[in-house]
Amino acid sequence: MLKKFLPSRHVKSIFQITPEYLKEKGMKAIITDLDNTLVAWDRPDATPELLEWFAEMKKAGIKVLIVSNNNQKRVSAFSQPIDIPYIFEARKPMGKAFRRAVKLLGVKKEETVVIGDQLLTDIFGGNRGGFYTILVLPVAQTDGFWTKFNRRIERRIMNFFKRKGLIQWEESK
C-alpha cells in the first residue's frame, strides 16, 4: 500500500524537470499542482523563472495544465494571466480531476506526468491513476491549515522511504 505514495522520481525543484527529460520518458503533457509546487501557497502570481520554465515546455511542445485543490478565485487569478489551463477544487487524490485533465490535454495518461509537493494528494492520486509522478520539495516553508495536517502524515511515510533507501534527498527546513 505504501508503494502508492512513492513517486516515480523526486527532485528538489520544478526547475530540475526539463523538456529533454520528459521527452526521453515519452511525456507529452504535465499535470502540475499549484501551491508550494510552482509558487509559495500565498504568492499570487508566477515568478519570472517560472514563466521561463512554462515557455521552455511550450516551445518543446509539452502541454501544461494546473490541477489544484484550491478554490476558483486562487487558481484562476494565477493561471489566467499566463494562459495556462486549470482545474480548481480538484479533490485530489480522487481520480476525476486527473481523468478530466488528460481529456482536456488530449493525451494518454502514459504520456502525462503528475508533478506535486504532497505525497497524500499529488503523488498518491497520480500513482493511483497510473501516471508517472514527480515529487518536488515544497517551495515555501509554511503551509495552509489542511496541508499542515497532511505534512505530519507525509513525514512518517518519507521517513519509512528513507529508511528503506527508496528516497535519498533531505528536506530543507
Order of strands, edge to edge, in the sheet holding 29-32? 9-11, 132-136, 112-116, 29-32, 63-67, 86-87
Classify residue 102: in a domain, yes or no.
yes
CATH classification at residue 51: 3.40.50.1000
Total structural domains in the chain? 1
Instruction: Decide: pTM greater than 0.95.
Output: no
Distance CA 54, CA 60 (A): 10
Domain of 123? 2-163
Classify residue 171: in a domain, yes or no.
no
Distance CA 126, CA 106 (A): 17
Classify residue 172: in a domain, yes or no.
no
Classify residue 170: in a domain, yes or no.
no
132-161 confidence digits (pLDDT tens)? 999 999 987 766 666 777 778 888 888 888
For 135, residues 6+ apart whose C-beta sits below 8 A from its C-beta are 7, 9, 10, 11, 116, 117, 119, 122, 123
Classify residue 169: in a domain, yes or no.
no
User: Quick check: 153 and 118 in contact, CB under 8 A?
Assistant: no
pLDDT of residue 123: 97
Strand, coil or helix: what is 7?
coil
Classify residue 108: in a domain, yes or no.
yes
Classify residue 60: in a domain, yes or no.
yes
- Transcribe 108-161 into DSSP letters: -GGGEEEEES-IIIIIHHHHHTT-EEEEE--SSS---HHHHHHHHHHHHHHHHH
**Cell 499542515 -> residue:** 148
33-79 confidence digits (pLDDT tens)? 999 999 998 888 999 999 999 999 999 999 999 999 999 999 999 99
Cβ atoms within 10 Å, residue 119: 25
pLDDT of residue 173: 37
Classify residue 79: in a domain, yes or no.
yes
88-133 confidence digits (pLDDT tens)? 999 999 999 999 999 999 999 999 999 999 999 999 999 999 999 9
